[in-house]
């Protein structure tokens, strides 16, 4: 049952036709919310959802292309057989081999007092490419995009393919760092590797070691330090060491500033899981309520709240929580919506058997 986002009455029956994230009793509540600031917020949500959707489609296309390189795919310059390990994805989505990328000539433009180097172009479509000195940064950004896409997918083959594509990029960075030893990029590489280990969920002990190595760095920024504490907690969850996970998330929370809403929200979310597993159900509910208050729309926010109420024997409240999840949680993410509906159906089936 939806709650009106203007007057807070229950049984709201209409929904914002733009962002689809807010509910109202009637047209009057909708107009009032619109004039009180939702006009700007609605456009921001729509634009953000379009950006995420467009980015996900683009990344999925690249991953599919990378995973399906055939014996007929060759570098158009040296004609070397392309493979997932040596194929370099250009910004225009064409592939060249690693060696030829760094041998593509740029142009020097003479402006009299100044000679400016122009970036090289794709030999297939003439689209501009990053300067040679920027190629490693471009690889890092591609790896980060693959990881972000993986995090938005449920556990499964497509998620692992995104992780494989990200590792493909980081391997190239590691190879070329021998020629271009950029200290900051070496740090970014470790940060991406840390996220990858957590995202894949295959080697949590290795993830703990890397996260702790990064936390020992004195010059690590506050934001990156909090991220590594969160990664540490995530690894402990994968190992089902929930008390240690709770300690890591609590330490991360103490470092958060008021501007770090995304990180704070994730901490509350993961603490909900920890306290649920530790059977401290009252604290689990408090943490999840805080996470939902910050953002009721993000992936998985309702799951452990519902499971907490189920553990307390309140199946009706658990079902009510998941019905709210169907209404509010990630309307832009069909994969997550399917998981939400599956848990709701499972709870309703359990109630029917009581």
Distance in angstroms between the alpha carbons of the first and the last residue of the chain? 23
Token code pair at residue 174? 């590691």
**Nearest of 275, 287, 207 to residue 246 by alpha carbon:** 275
271 Cα distance to chain centroid: 18
Residue carrying structure tokens 């030999």: 123
Contact 121, 107 (CB under 8 A): no
| pLDDT digits 0-9 by tens, 222-257 | 999 999 999 999 999 999 999 999 999 999 999 999
Indicate the pTM of the whole model.
Answer: 0.77
Structure confidence at residue 85 (pLDDT): 79
What is the mean pLDDT of the segment spanning 246-274?
94
Residue carrying structure tokens 């190239």: 172
Alpha carbons within 13 angstroms on the beta-carbon side of residue 221 total 7
Structure confidence at residue 152 (pLDDT): 78
The segment with the largest mean pLDDT, out of 63-72, 137-146, 199-208, 333-342, is 199-208
The segment with the largest mean pLDDT, out of 63-72, 152-161, 202-211, is 202-211
Q: How far apart are CA 118 and CA 120, in angstroms?
A: 7
Give the pLDDT band of residue 268 (cuts 50, 70, 90). very high
Residue carrying structure tokens 């832009």: 332
| pLDDT digits 0-9 by tens, 167-199 | 888 887 777 777 667 777 778 888 888 888 888
| pLDDT digits 0-9 by tens, 209-221 | 999 999 998 888 8
Token code pair at residue 43? 């456009």
What is the mean pLDDT of the segment spanning 134-155?
81
**Contacts of the segment 219-227: beta carbons below 8 A, 24+ positions apart:** 220/187, 222/255, 222/257, 223/260, 223/263, 224/191, 225/255, 226/252, 226/255, 226/256, 226/260, 226/263, 227/191, 227/263
Residue carrying structure tokens 């109202």: 24
What is the mean pLDDT of the segment spanning 88-116?
69
Residue 253 CB: number of other CB atoms within 10 A?
Answer: 18
What is the mean pLDDT of the segment spanning 333-347?
87
Q: How far apart are CA 217 and CA 181, in angstroms?
A: 19
Contact 180, 211 (CB under 8 A): no
Kindly list the structural domains of the chain, giving each domain's residue range(s) and its CATH number in brackets, ordered by start: 1-50 (no CATH), 69-129 (3.30.40)
What is the mean pLDDT of the segment spanning 308-319?
95
């Amino acid at each position: 049952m939806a709650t009106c986002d203007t007057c807070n009455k229950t049984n709201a029956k209409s929904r914002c036709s733009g962002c689809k994230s807010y509910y109202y009793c009637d047209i009057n509540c909708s107009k009032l919310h619109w004039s009180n600031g939702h006009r700007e917020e609605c456009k921001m949500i729509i634009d953000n959802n379009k950006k995420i959707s467009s980015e996900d489609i683009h990344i999925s296309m690249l991953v599919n292309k990378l995973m399906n390189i055939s014996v007929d795919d060759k570098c158009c310059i040296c004609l070397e057989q392309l493979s997932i390990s040596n194929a370099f994805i250009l910004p225009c989505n064409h592939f060249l081999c690693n060696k030829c990328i760094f041998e593509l000539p740029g142009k020097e433009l003479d402006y009299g007092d100044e000679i400016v180097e122009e970036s090289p172009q794709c030999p297939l479509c003439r689209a501009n490419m990053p300067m040679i000195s920027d190629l490693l940064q471009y690889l890092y950004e591609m790896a980060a995009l693959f990881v972000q896409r993986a995090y938005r997918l449920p556990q499964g083959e497509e998620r692992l393919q995104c992780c494989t594509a990200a590792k493909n990029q980081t391997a190239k960075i590691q190879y070329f760092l021998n020629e271009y030893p950029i200290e900051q990029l070496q740090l970014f590489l470790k940060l991406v590797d840390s996220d990858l280990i957590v995202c894949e969920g295959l080697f949590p002990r290795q993830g703990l070691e890397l996260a702790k190595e990064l936390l020992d760095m004195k010059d690590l920024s506050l934001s990156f330090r909090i991220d590594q504490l969160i990664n540490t907690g995530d690894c402990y969850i994968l190992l089902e060491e929930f008390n240690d996970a709770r300690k890591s998330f609590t330490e991360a929370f103490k470092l958060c500033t008021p501007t770090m809403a995304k990180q704070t929200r994730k901490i509350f979310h993961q603490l909900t899981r920890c306290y649920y597993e530790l059977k401290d159900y009252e604290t689990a509910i408090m943490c999840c309520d805080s996470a939902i208050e910050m953002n009721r729309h993000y992936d998985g926010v309702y799951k452990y709240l519902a499971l907490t109420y189920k553990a307390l024997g309140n199946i009706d409240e658990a079902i009510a929580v998941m019905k709210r999840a169907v209404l509010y949680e990630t309307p832009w993410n069909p994969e997550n919506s399917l998981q939400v509906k599956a848990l709701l159906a499972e709870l309703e089936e359990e109630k029917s058997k009581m």
